[in-house]
Chains A and B, each alone.
Chain A
């Protein structure tokens, strides 16, 4: 089973709203990722969690706040977003073997976000 689930599938929010995206995996993976993807562009890495600790923040604006409550869950809290933040938000997970691993990242179906 290589399933990563994400909720909601679609989200429309205003610039003053607060919302959260959720991601879950039950594969025992210890690395989880948030990506942002705009139309006709490749995914852009936002955050990486390794063993529930934030290991990479790709200089993402503070209006995006990640959280990893446990090894199976990853949240992305959204506040005061801009219309240009409208995109497909993808969660991914992989095993975490440390040095020079060959882990494969498996993607969830994504949340299509529209900021009005």
Chain B
């Protein structure tokens, strides 16, 4: 079982809709969870981090963490064409290691 799994395939959403991304992780002891956005050819940019169970909102982004079920999700409300990117889920393990999922490509259709 991979450390961090993100459901595969690009996600196409109409402009103004909600994009929902999910991520599961295998290490039950993980405490820190991150979502990075990466535009093609650019470096990952942190958009959200979450440490506690529940929801965390920042502008149009909401991260949700459920440690019992070992999943973390990201909602993007009112999706804009500028949200078109690959979203990487990352989970912090021991020794400063950050385990990344494979990423989800989001395409917002105007």
Contacts and interface: CB of A to CB of B under 8 A. Distances in A.
Interface of A: 2, 31, 33, 40-43, 45, 48, 50, 55-56, 88, 90, 94, 96, 100-110, 112
A112 B40 CA distance: 12
B102 A45 contact: no
Contact of B44 (A40, A43, A50, A96): A43
A43 B96 contact: no
Contact of B98 (A55, A100, A105, A109): A105
A106 B97 CA distance: 13
A41 B90 CA distance: 13
12 contacts: A31-B96, A33-B96, A48-B96, A48-B97, A55-B96, A56-B96, A101-B32, A103-B32, A104-B32, A105-B46, A107-B43, A112-B41
Interface of B: 31-32, 34, 36, 41-46, 49, 51, 88, 90, 92, 95-98, 100-103
A107 B45 contact: yes
A42 B34 contact: no
Contacts of A110: 42-43
A85 to B, nearest CB: 18
A102 B92 contact: yes
Contact of A56 (B32, B36, B97): B97
A102 B31 contact: yes
